[in-house]
Amino acid sequence: MTKHVVFFSGGIGSWAAAKRVVERHGTANTVLLFTDTRMEDEDLYRFIDEAAANIGAPLVKIAEGRTPWEVFFDRRFLGNSQIDPCSETLKRKMADRWLKANCDPADTVCYVGIDWTEEHRIIRLAPRKLPWIYEAPMCDPPYVDKRQMLAWLKNAGIKPPRLYEMGFAHNNCGGFCVKAGQGHFANLLRTLPCRYLYHEQKEQELRAFLGKNVSILKDLTLKALREKIEAKGQIDMFEIGGCGCFVDFDAEAA
């Protein structure tokens, strides 16, 4: 019997994908796999427990143990929009390890929560993961967008993760992401300033540790971005960026 493994990130897309998987295949041989970065928003844990109970399949939680910042220091490399040692180490490799220990590619299908608006990502991902089979149920009809998925979630009686209500595009890493842009970090500063200042401080510490002029954003540090916002300077609020922990593969960090 085929085993169905849904990468359950804590985002609305992975919940919707899991709903479609159990509609098609049932819950008996379905597993929801959550890989914890140890830097998640506290409300994510409430959400994944409620969402898993709604789906009816077992929720498996795994963690490498480090946070993204600990990975950056250990690897002596600051993640950015092009290279993400955090998700490579804490998400992809952990999931691969669990799959190899618990499943057989001959009778396993893996599912990610991307939707039809980013279908190019599953097209890119699937060939790279062979012999494991990867699918994206939300790329199939009927096509729904994130707003409709959130309405579906509410109709199921589940409160959406609070980061969505705060204006974040995803519910990973507590609103932090090295693939995010100026607009995303500006929202983090506005809604969760203490969290923003924590990441600003860690970026400064890593810059000093490496002795290099590196930054998450392309043209400025988080400190410089905050000072620019506080001075009413112009920033690119449309530069949101995007989280792609399970579907983006970049060059190995140095």
Q: Which residues contact 115 (CB under 8 A, 6 or more apart)?
A: 13, 16, 136, 138, 139, 143, 144, 145, 146, 149
For residue 161, give both structure tokens: 């993760």
At 242, the pLDDT band (50, 70, 90 cuts) reads low
pTM of the model: 0.91
User: Could you give the CA distance from residue 8 to residue 51 in angstroms, rounded to a whole number?
Assistant: 10
User: Could you give the CA distance from residue 10 to residue 51 in angstroms, rounded to a whole number?
Assistant: 9
Position 31 pLDDT exceeds 60? yes
**According to the model, what pLDDT value does residue 219 have?**
87
Helix (DSSP H) and strand (DSSP E) numbers for the chain: 11, 5
At 193, the pLDDT band (50, 70, 90 cuts) reads very high
Domains defined for the chain, CATH in brackets? 3-161 (3.40.50.620)
Average pLDDT over residues 146-166: 96
At 115, the pLDDT band (50, 70, 90 cuts) reads very high
Average pLDDT over residues 229-247: 71
**pLDDT per position as a tens digit, 64-92:** 999 999 999 999 999 998 899 999 999 99
